[in-house]
């Protein structure tokens, strides 16, 4: 037995500190089997999957980097477009403001002109109406005066036409003096 070769004394209580030959052989066999399986089967598989993982991660990182560059480019483009759109909007707003101001001034001027025309027309109509009324009033007053004077003096006057001319002259004189006496400021004979 191998053990007896390696053990100095079979009954020595310290013999357990010496390696037994049997166990050296079994230990060597077991460890070599373990190492062989790990070195030939397990670790090639580990290394293969680690390499695949490393490749996959590298490819993913590169892809992500490319995507980031593209996204940055698109972002810059969108920002530029947004800036252009804002400038265009500002320009349109300014133009609209200017147009609105022009329209407002034009409408206001037109309204003022129309208002002026309306006022002028109204004044003219009022003047015309007053003149017409004044003429009518003057005729009526003359007739009434003549009629009244005729009735008052018809018995004493032999020539009615001369009397009538006289009355009219008097009325004209009266009319000429009307502004001074406060009857509308109109001068001249009818």
Partner 1 sequence: MTTLAFEAPTVQELFEFKPIWVLHIGSLTLDITFPTLLMFAVTILVIGIFLGAFRRPALVPKGFQNVVEAGTDFIREGIAISVIGAEGAVWTPLLAAIFFWILFNNLMSIIPGISFPVTSRMAYPVTLAVLVWIIFNVVGIKEQGFFRYFKNIMFPPGVPLLIKPLLALIEFFSTVIVRPITLSVRLFANMVAGHMILGVLFLATAVFFQSGLGKATFVLPFGLATALMLLELFVIFMQAFIFTILTAVYIAGALHPEH
Which C-beta is closer to partner 1: that of 20 or that of 138?
A: 20
Would you count residue 52 as binding partner 1 (CB under 8 A)? yes
Would you count residue 9 as binding partner 1 (CB under 8 A)? no
Would you count residue 28 as binding partner 1 (CB under 8 A)? yes
Q: Binders of partner 1: how many residues, by CB under 8 A?
A: 36
Q: Which stretch binds partner 1 (CB under 8 A): 31-39, 84-92, 131-139, 160-168?
A: 31-39
Would you count residue 61 as binding partner 1 (CB under 8 A)? no
CB of 87 to partner 1, least distance (A): 50
DSSP string, 126-176: HHHHHHHHHHHHHHHHHHHHHHHHHHHHTTT-S-HHHHHHHHHHHHHHHHH
Q: CA of 4: how far to CAs of 19, 25, 135, 161, in Å?
A: 11, 14, 169, 191
Which C-beta is closer to partner 1: that of 57 or that of 137?
A: 57
The correct pick among 8, 27, 99, 166 for binding partner 1 (CB under 8 A) is 27
Whole-number Å distance between alpha carbons of 167 and 187? 18
Would you count residue 64 as binding partner 1 (CB under 8 A)? no
Q: Within 10 A of 20 (CB to CB), how many other CB atoms are there? A: 18
Which two three-digit tokens encode residue 132?
Answer: 């017409």
Q: CA of 104: how far to CAs of 99, 107, 117, 166, in Å?
A: 8, 5, 20, 64
Would you count residue 173 as binding partner 1 (CB under 8 A)? no
Residues forming the site for partner 1 (CB under 8 A): 1-3, 13-14, 16-28, 30-31, 33-35, 37-39, 41-43, 45-46, 48-49, 52-53, 56
């Amino acid at each position: 037995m191998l053990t007896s070769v390696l053990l100095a004394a079979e009954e020595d209580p310290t013999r357990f500190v010496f390696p037994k030959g049997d166990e050296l052989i079994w230990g060597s066999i077991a460890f070599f089997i373990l190492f062989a399986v790990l070195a030939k089967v397990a670790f090639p598989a580990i290394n293969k999957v680690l390499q695949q993982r490393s490749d996959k991660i590298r490819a993913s990182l590169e892809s992500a980097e490319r995507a980031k560059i593209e996204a940055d480019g698109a972002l810059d483009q969108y920002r530029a477009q947004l800036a252009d759109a804002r400038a265009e909007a500002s320009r349109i707003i300014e133009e609209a403001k200017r147009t609105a101001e022009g329209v407002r001034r034009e409408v206001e001027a037109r309204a003022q002109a129309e208002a002026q025309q309306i006022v002028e027309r109204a004044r003219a109509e009022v003047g015309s109406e007053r003149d017409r009324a004044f003429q009518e009033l003057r005729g009526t007053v003359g007739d009434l005066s003549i009629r009244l004077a005729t009735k008052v003096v018809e018995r004493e006057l032999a020539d009615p036409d001369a009397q009538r001319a006289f009355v009219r002259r008097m009325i004209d004189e009266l009319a000429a003096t009307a502004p001074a006496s406060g009857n509308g400021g109109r001068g001249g004979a009818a």
